[in-house]
Amino acid sequence: MENILEIKNLNKQYDGFSLSDISFSLPRGYICGLIGPNGSGKTTIIKLIMNIIPKDDGSIKVFGLDNEADEVEVKSRIGFVHDTPDFYKESKLKIIKEIVAPFYIEWSDEKFMGYIDKFELPLKKKFSSLSLGMKMKFWLAIALSHNAELILLDEPTSGLDPVFRREFLEMLSDIIQDERKSVLFSTHITSDLDRIADYITFIKNGKLVFSKTKDEIFDNYGVIKGGDEITNAKYENSICGYKKTSLGVDALTNNIQGIKTSLGDKAIYEKATLEDIMYYTDKKETKA
Amino acid sequence: MFELIKYDLKRNKMIILAFSLIAIYFLAVNMNYWLYALCWMSILPFFPLSREEKDNGYEFLISLPVKKENIVASKYICAWLITAYISFVFFLLPKILETLPYLKFTGTEGLINVSTIVLGFAIISFNICVLFPLFFRFHSSKIIIIFIILSSMFCGLVFSLQKYSAKPGDFFYGYCRFREGIETTALAVNGSVGIFGLLFVFACIIYCISYISCKISVEMLKRRGQPLFYNLRLKHNKLLAN
């Protein structure tokens, strides 16, 4: 399987934050969701892929090319949407399109106008007069109009209404149907990923927790509810995090079958959602 | 790169037009034309940069398939084009207008010649070369003080030069002619065209300084938003880790 994106031992340091040893890859023809709490480093990873900020160490290969040495070619094949897309606020949408289009060799006005109609965007209006959702739709139209092979989206669904969000996710599914394109998008809304993602990459405090297929995650992760024996040292390797309550212990495991065999009827087992995984990971919390 | 220049000029056309009107106004009011002209001229080339910053344009431009070198070079070229245009408006346009029988502007009479234009251009060029790398590295609010100090220094210099010569550029020209014997260079045929020798030397100096400044600006753009001495600190940390 050919990888469209390969990140190895990526490092970046800021004052008070560091991204350490991030390695993951995305095969061609799949959708990968980048999840993690606020400030975990999702946007930093996306900016590093786009070479908006320089990396300290490690390597980023996109389409098999180095993202710094072959910057122009790499970027021309990526459709990118920023997390805060407030650029050229006082310009009309038509003008912004005129600025962007000449930079892409494969730009298609036909496709762009198709998306403009579909998203019902007013080309003659100023960018600042649009709602957050409309702004995001506009940048999506731009990102999807130049035949990009990798679509890189930073929190694209955060400002969208539920109806358009679902349509948008279907659109992403359609994009990868030809098996030549891939999508990497960061989000807080984990239900979006439940619907369409093939791979999930989870980042916490600048460190990679896992990067696996969605099936692998849902087969192995689970929430267990039971007594204090869950926090016993012999289960340490299988328990990712737990919360003690007055009723007992709620914990997340990455080895649901193993725990089931050991604990048997002493606990209740539930399927873990991505939200559960984000919530419980590394949590060692005791509540009265 | 052509696209970048085109879009910069397009976005700033209203400001350029406003400055042209200001030039004509100062010409009509006839008060220390030189001083006013230079003040306004030195501000204008920075508008495309500060406008880009206001629109969060740097982050956007960097995400487009274009080299950082081209982004920087386009800003420099745009600044030169604006400077050339505004020099034309401030200095050559009055000269042209003077030739019209019914349009008599007295503000610049006897003050404008080639050496004066060269001096104005040199001052603005120096301003651009010093300040552009800072603009690419820091937020403009952080360097506004440096900008004001530099501009005030140059305006003060020009103002004081008026004591020595009616045409401020002539003071420098006369000094250079005396020191270097510009008229004897291959480019100069006689005393009246000696200024072209000086122009050639001036153009070479401006080109060299601009080239260095441009290279520094590219590095500054790459480091935009990073803490000061980030790379040094990184190397230091790596050494410590080893």
Quote the CA–CA distance of A211 and B186 in Å, as a whole number. Answer: 70
Mean pLDDT, rounded, for B20-34:
66
* Whole-Å CA distances, B39 to B26, B142, B190: 12, 20, 34
Residues 40-99 of A with CB under 8 A from B: 50-54, 56, 71-76, 80, 82, 84, 86-91, 98-99
Structure tokens at A81: 């949407």
Of B66, B60, B6, nearest to B224 (Cα)? B60
pLDDT: which is higher, B178 or A76: A76
Q: 3-class DSSP state for residue A14?
A: strand
Task: Give the CA distances from residue A16 to residues A24, A207, B238, in Å, rounded to whole numbers and listed in that order.
Answer: 24, 14, 17
Radius of gyration of chain B (CA): 20
Look up residue B61 and give its two tokens: 């431009």
Predicted local distance difference test score (pLDDT) of residue A75? 92
Chain B closest-CA separation from residue A251 CA (Å):
37
- Whether the pLDDT of residue B189 is over 50: the answer is no
> Which uninterrupted H or E stretch holds B22?
helix B13-29
pLDDT at B80 over 50: yes
B22/A267 Cα distance (integer angstroms): 81
Search chain B and give the residue with CA nearest A92: B11
Pairs of CB atoms within 8 A across A/B: 55
Task: Look at residue B17 and tell me whether its pLDDT is greater than 70.
Answer: yes
Nearest C-alpha neighbor of B89 from the set B129, B32, B33? B33
> What is the model's pLDDT at position A196?
84
* Predicted model pTM: 0.79
Report the pLDDT averaged over residues B67-92.
82
Alpha helices in B88-193 (DSSP H): 93-99, 114-137, 140-161, 168-180
Q: What pLDDT shows up at residue B5?
A: 83
pLDDT at res. B134: 84
* Chain A stretch 5-44, residues whose beta carbon is closer than 8 A to a beta carbon of chain B: 13-15
Q: Which residues pair with A207 in a beta bridge?
A: A20, A204
> Which is higher by pLDDT, B37 or B129?
B129
Q: Does A82 contact B55 at a Cβ distance shorter than 8 Å?
A: no
**Cα maximum dimension of chain B:** 80
Q: Which helix (H) or strand (E) holds A23?
A: strand A17-27
Residue B113 reports pLDDT greater than 60: no
Select from B50, B64, B137, B237 the residue whose CB has the most chain A CBs within 10 Å, as the one to mutate to test that interface: B64
CA-to-CA separations, A257 to A249, A261, A263, A273, in angstroms, rounded: 18, 6, 10, 16
pLDDT of B117: 67
pLDDT level of residue B175 (50, 70, 90 thresholds): low
ipTM > 0.90, yes or no = no
Contact A226, A263 (CB under 8 A): yes
Q: Map residue B232 onto helix, strand or coil.
A: helix
Q: What is the Cα A29 distance to its own chain's centre?
A: 16
Q: Which residues contact A44 (CB under 8 A, 6 or more apart)?
A: A12, A14, A19, A53, A206
Rounded Cα–Cα distance for residues A156 and A188 (Å): 10
Confidence label for B16 from pLDDT (cuts 50, 70 and 90): confident
Least Cα separation, residue B62 to chain A (angstroms)? 6
* DSSP 8-state symbol, A273: P
Q: For the segment B201-210, what is each residue's pLDDT rounded down to a tens digit?
A: 777 888 888 8
* pLDDT per residue as tens, chain A (288 positions): 788 999 999 988 877 788 888 999 999 888 899 988 888 888 899 999 998 888 888 899 999 899 888 989 999 999 998 877 677 777 888 888 888 888 898 899 999 999 899 888 888 888 888 887 788 888 889 988 998 899 998 887 776 778 878 887 888 888 777 778 899 988 877 888 887 888 999 998 888 888 889 888 888 888 888 877 777 766 667 788 888 877 788 888 888 888 778 777 777 888 888 888 888 886 766 544
